[in-house]
Each structure stands twice: as C-alpha cells, then as structure tokens.
Amino acid sequence: MSRPTHPDPDVDACAVSTHGLTRRYRGVTALDRVDLRVPEGAVYVLVGANGAGKSTTLRLLMNLERPDAGTAEVFGLDTVRDGPGVRAQIGYVPEHHDAGYRWMRCGRLLRHAAAYYPAWDPAYADHLGRAFGLKPDRRVGTLSKGEARRLQLVMALAHRPPLLLLDEPTDGLDPVVRRQTLALLAEHLADTPTTVLVSTHQVYEVESLADHVGVLREGRLVAQLSRDELRRTVRRYRVEVPEGWEAPPGLRGTGARRSGTGREVQWTLVGEEREVTERLALAGARVREVTPLGLEDAALAFLPEEGPR
Amino acid sequence: MLVNVDPRDARPLYLQIMDEVRRALVVGTLRPEDPLPSVRELASELVVNPRTVSQAYRELEREGVIYVRRGQGTFVAPDARSGRDERRALAREVAKRALLDARRSGLGVEELVTFIREVAAEEEGEPSRSAAAASEGDEE
C-alpha cells in the first residue's frame, strides 16, 4: 500500500489530507504515520487524550513545524512547500492563549490582522467582537484567558477562510460564552462554506456540530469515520453470560463492565451489529439489547479506559 | 415552536428535529402556513450543524409537511393538519421508547400495557378530577 505516490481518488474532495505524517520530538514519536482525510465542508472533530498528537497535527498543517516524515496537503497545496499559500486559507485558533502583540489594543490588533487577509470582513469582525463583548480599547496583554480566546476566535473567523483549524477553541471560556461561541460557529457555517478541523478532549462540546470523527491515541490515528458510520459500527451490547464466562479474544472495545450479579455484562464494541452479535453468541453470551451511542461515547470506544491497565 | 434536541440521544439529530416539528404540529403550537425558523436560526439556537437542520427540513419537505417559498423561507404546508398520520407517527415514537425501556427492565408488552392503564387510571382518579370527568363524558 504505497499511498504517497498514488493518492486515492477521494483525496481530491478533501480539504485536508495527510500521508504518513510523522513528527518526533527528541526521539519521542508524537505523531506516527497519520493519514488524515478531512472532506470538504466537514466538521471534523479530532479526539484524543492530552499529548495524543492533536495540537501537533494542527501545527504541522499550519507549517509552524515541519514533519519528520510524510506530507500534508491543504486544498491540494503542500504545507511545507507552500506554507504561506496554505496559511492564507486557514483561520487558526492555537492551543495557547497568546494572541501576540501584547502592547496593542484589541481594536488595533484586529485592524493589523485585517491587513494580512484580503477577504477580511470588517463589519463581520465588528459583529463578532460585539457578540463576544470585546472592548477595542483593552490592551492585548491585559486580557484574561477567556478574553484572549475570544479575540483569537474573531481573528480566525473574520476573514471567512475556507478552513478553520481550532485547537481546543472553547478552552478557558465560561459555560455561557462557550455555548455562545458554538452558536456563532453554527451561524458562521450557515453563512460561509467552511471546513472545520477541531481538536478537543471535551467531545460533548462539539458533539452536535461534528459530522466526522478522528481518534488519536499516542500519536496514531486509530479511527477515522463519519458520524453515520460511527453510529452504525459502535454500539453498546448488553449480554447475559454464564457464571465465570470469559470474553472471547479479538472483540475490540472498552472493557467489559459486569453488573452486580455477575451474569450481565455491558460492552461497547466496534463492528457491524450482526457480526458482533454472532460472535458473542458463538462465545456463549446471549445478547439482550443493542443500543447505538451518542458521538462522544462512541468515540471513546477507541480509547483505552482511564486508570492503570 | 419549541425545538429540543439531545446530542447524547443516540437517534440522529435530524430525526430528532423532524420529530420535534411533528410534535409541534400535533400539539398545535405549529399550524398550517406558520413560518419555521431559518436553517441558520435553528442551527444557532440548537448549536447543531446547519447541514443537520437542512437535512431535517429536506426530509420534512419530501414528506409534504413543510414547503419552501422561494426568497421567503420555510412554512408549514397548508394541508399538514395535525391529522392522523402525524399523530400516528408520534404515537409510534412514544411507544417505541416505552417498549425499549420495558425490555431493558425485562418486562413484556402485555405487562407494560396493563400497568400503563393501571397508572393512568390512578392518576385520573387523583388530582385532576375534571380531566377524568371530561374523558368519561366523551364516552357517553
């Protein structure tokens, strides 16, 4: 499977595609041969624990870092060869809350940002600034974490870029502003054709906006699927098992949770329902109930349970 | 019209929106020729992807429940009465949820129906006598 030389056809319809993207920090692999496919127009949520490689992925797409191996393309442009061209297409909210230019006043910073983007929409920037309650006179350096975040969001959205890279966009925002931010994002999507790649470890926040999910685990993309596929292939199985029953090997999912009586087990398992049910039946478990899951619960099926293993 | 969706509910969001519109029709908070919120407004209010709202509206339009008047917005179809079909669809949805709950607790269909009747009778006998009286009156 030599991907790089023969890109698969669906790459053409991708806003973002990476090919074996790899990044190491002092010998430690932060990102390991990642093949990301973000379809145009998708709201793609990148899920993973802290340190799983989410921020690294976004920084590589911005060409703020160089990959150690592999390539990345944004709307067909190579991120390394055409960094400025790529960045012009992107609205980026970084992991950190530093909006830069600490001595500038917010209003001045926005005018400064406007100069960089031909498509900057001053009326929209004003609208967003007001909606977020940003005061143009405040100096950037005196902003709270939440205020700095809001400023970053205005800067990312106001030029209506075709791609938004949002790294934990609601981090530091209080619950009311968080909801308001996501509502503004929903309006933005209704007004402007946009692809969104959003990283978060709080999946529930963007759960209702997302239509694609990628799961990063220790630098590897362990799952990548549409919301519909996720709904179809990740389900919770309630099964009745004999006393002392052993789980069949090869069933993938989060660990079995036995109820008090020891005869009822609940599993989140990955696979087509019919196939999973058959395998459980063959192993001597009687399937009592199968339920599809919400997006967050389904995505978590690809991550190991917390705590020592 | 009040629309509520729950992203943690495993039902797809566009189906939840469709059900909410149907419910509003049956309850009467939404009537023929009433305007629906725009895709943008509803997406913002529910904090859902605008595409999800579009999908729900498209399906409802296909079913003849709503229609689009170009340049003016989306409206409830003139013949979308809170008629039998909508009631039926809504009742089936409620029944499905009750059944799911019952099965989870190891209860059978007959048991469920019996106890729904029993509980309903008790509730009618208690505080709202007028409601019970009204329903008796209907039967005469």
pLDDT score of A7? 47
More confident residue, B30 or A18: A18
pLDDT score of A5? 46
Q: Which residues of B touch A182 (CB under 8 A)?
A: 47
Cβ pair A209:B47 closer than 8 A: yes
Specify whether the CB–CB gap between A46 and A200 falls below 8 A.
yes
Cβ pair B40:A292 closer than 8 A: no
pLDDT score of B93? 83
Specify whether the CB–CB gap between B65 and B74 falls below 8 A.
no
d(CA B26, CA B92): 13
Q: Does pLDDT of A110 surpass 70?
A: yes
Q: In what order do the strands lie in the sheet with A234-240?
A: A257-258, A264-270, A234-240, A286-292
The shortest C-alpha distance from A49 to chain B (Å) reads 20
d(CA A83, CA A221): 24
Cβ burial, residue A123 (10 Å; 0-12/13-18/19+): exposed
pLDDT score of A307? 40
**Residue pointed to by tokens 């809170």:** B82
Nearest one of A202, A148, A154, A155 to A173, comparing CA atoms: A148
User: Per-residue pLDDT tens for A115-160?
Assistant: 988 899 999 999 999 999 999 899 999 998 899 999 999 999 999 9
Cβ pair B10:A211 closer than 8 A: no
Kindly provide the b/e burial profile for residues A24-46, where b requires at least 16 CB atoms within 10 angstroms of the residue's own CB. Answer: eeeeeebbbbbbbbbbeebbbbb
More confident residue, A36 or B32: A36
The shortest C-alpha distance from A252 to chain B (Å) reads 21
Q: Which residue from A minimizes the CA distance to B7?
A: A208
More confident residue, A301 or A63: A63
Question: Which of A128, A206, A209 to substitute to test the interface with B, most B CBs within 10 Å?
Answer: A209
Specify whether the CB–CB gap between A194 and A157 falls below 8 A.
no
Q: Give CA angle at B35 (B92, B23), nearest 5°.
A: 15
pLDDT score of B134? 46
Q: Which residues of B touch A190 (CB under 8 A)?
A: 39-40, 43-44, 50
The shortest C-alpha distance from B23 to chain A (Å) reads 21
A294 at the B interface (CB within 8 A)?
yes
Q: Which of A73-77, A256-260, B30-34, B92-96 has the highest mean pLDDT?
A: A73-77
* Cross-chain CB nearest to A190 (options B9, B50, B104): B50
More confident residue, A108 or B106: A108
- Residue A89: CB atoms within 10 A of its CB come to 16
* A259 Cβ contact partners less than 8 Å away, ≥ 6 residues apart: A265, A266
For residue A22, list its beta bridge partners. Answer: A69
pLDDT score of A250? 65
User: Per-residue pLDDT tens for A245-272?
Assistant: 777 766 655 555 555 566 788 888 888 8
B54: left (phi over 0), alpha (psi -120 to 50) or beta: alpha
Cβ pairs A/B, distance under 8 A: 64
* Cross-chain CB nearest to B10 (options A186, A211, A291): A291
pLDDT band at B25 (very low <50, low <70, confident <90, very high): confident
- CA A207, distance to chain mean position in Å, is 10
The answer to whether the complex's ipTM is over 0.95 is no
Q: Percent of chain A, pLDDT > 90? A: 55
Look at A48-62, A70-84, B83-97 and tell me which has the smallest mean pLDDT.
B83-97
**Residues 173-192, chain A, touching B (beta carbon < 8 A):** 179, 182-184, 186-187, 189-191
What average pLDDT does the segment A215-239 reach? 92
What average pLDDT does the segment A167-182 reach? 91
Q: Does pLDDT of A165 surpass 90?
A: yes
* Cross-chain CB nearest to A179 (options B47, B52, B104): B47
What average pLDDT does the segment B94-112 reach? 88
The shortest C-alpha distance from A183 to chain B (Å) reads 4
More confident residue, A186 or A13: A186
Specify whether the CB–CB gap between B39 and B53 falls below 8 A.
yes
- Please state the pTM of the whole predicted model: 0.85
Pairing verdict, β A14-25 and A69-74 = antiparallel
Ranges of H-type helices in B1-140? 13-27, 39-46, 50-62, 84-104, 109-125, 129-139
Specify whether the CB–CB gap between A52 and A217 falls below 8 A.
yes
Mean pLDDT of chain A: 87
Q: Give CA angle at B64 (B67, B5), nearest 5°.
A: 80
Q: Which residues of B touch A128 (CB under 8 A)?
A: none
More confident residue, A285 or A38: A38
What average pLDDT does the segment B30-53 reach? 94
Question: Which of B39, B44, B105 to substitute to test the interface with A, most A CBs within 10 Å?
Answer: B44
Q: Does pLDDT of B114 surpass 50?
A: yes
Question: Which of B47, B52, B74, B97 to substitute to test the interface with A, most A CBs within 10 Å?
Answer: B47
pLDDT score of A245? 75
pLDDT score of B62? 94
Written as six digits, the tokens of B69 are 């008047």
d(CA A199, CA A182): 14
pLDDT score of A62? 96
Instruction: Write down the number of H helices and E strands in chain A.
Output: 10, 15
More confident residue, B97 or A64: A64
What average pLDDT does the segment A53-60 reach? 96
User: Per-residue pLDDT tens for A2-31?
Assistant: 344 444 555 568 999 999 999 999 989 999
What average pLDDT does the segment B12-32 reach? 89
pLDDT score of A257? 55
pLDDT score of B28? 84
